[in-house]
Structure 1
Amino acid sequence: MFTPLTADFYEAPTLELSRSLLGQILVHELPEGIVAGRIVETEAYMGAEDRAAHSFGNRRTKRTEVMFGRAGLVYTYQMHTHTLINVVSGPVDTPRAILIRAVEPVEGIDLMAELRGRHLPIKQWTSGPGKLTKAMGITMEYYGHHFTERPLYIAEGEPVHAIAAGPRVGIGNSLEAVSYPYRFFEQDNPFVSKFR
């Protein structure tokens, strides 16, 4: 039903890829069934020259190591109790990544309800980077996995025509990088995270 996009999809420059990811389908094939969400919000982190990036100044640690790898690798990290998922981007040794901030549920609605909590309205299941990984059963174990490979991959969706851009969320201490318009989202989509 879903087919992973090929590796060349990820070869685009980071900001271009951030926009191209909108409308594509993030798929996780779980033992209990498939969950899938249409990507509606992304945030680009431009590596060495971007103060908001974990790899600012080419910082190479156990956590950031995967960002130095090839485009299309999975970069997961923990923030508080949440797992956040990113798409590694840019040429090898250029540590850039794109955070998947929000998806719109398209498949496995029941399973997502189970994973997120049936008491929550559907609009709150996947409207944020920590929420969507919970709803889709995505854990830290995917660090270093490649998005072209099952069971976690990105499949072709429909292109998004109304794309808006703005500053990234929650990066308050990163000086000039605070205002870079590196957050991309589908206009008027109810699953885009609330901008505080």
Structure 2
Amino acid sequence: MKRRWSIPLTLVLAGAAVGLQAGHWSYERAYGPFVRNGELGRTVTEPRFTVQVEQVVTARTIRVPEGPYGAKPQIIPANGVFVVVIATVAARRSPEFVAAARLDTRYGHYYPTDKLGSSGLLGPPVTTLGFVRLQPGMPRRGCYVFDVPPGALEGARFALSDRDTEEAAFGHYRDDPVRFSAEVHVDLGISAGDAAELTRTAATGYGLPEPS
């Protein structure tokens, strides 16, 4: 009798173990960011910052103006196509670097390009919003720049986190989410037709808007 019931009981316990394993939260799900979704043109409010993505521009090349100490102007080519996300970002409670930007695509995640160069302690010759320390009550309009394959444009989503470059230095390891941070995901509304048009009309010598 005991033997007859042992097999079904073993199967039930095995099924329960599989269910518990499948239901176990990953580290990122358990401790990762609280996500708020948004759309192009709409302001999304998080506890520490707000963001409104206004426009998406594409470029084959970006013009870097003349820099300090005699640095000459440059034309920077993209490996694929530059995606310039123009947005207005504001800190709500305390000074912030809202610098942890990401472009989520069907090809994977892309982070702000490092192709714009740097002038040492002065930062890059073109200032994107990732280098701006935001002050409460003082919105800043500027851009984040990504270099992606043209095929990655369709369905792309822009992600922005409140991870602070001074308060959460370890958060810059891309596979180590900062616990309980706030993150905004903005659907850029790029359809297949939009992606083709953005690729076809990508600008040459595009001048990035400086934060204003």
Could you state the TM-score of these two structures normalised by the residue count of structure 1? 0.29
Could you state the TM-score of these two structures normalised by the residue count of structure 2? 0.28
Higher strand proportion: 2
Higher-Rg structure is 2
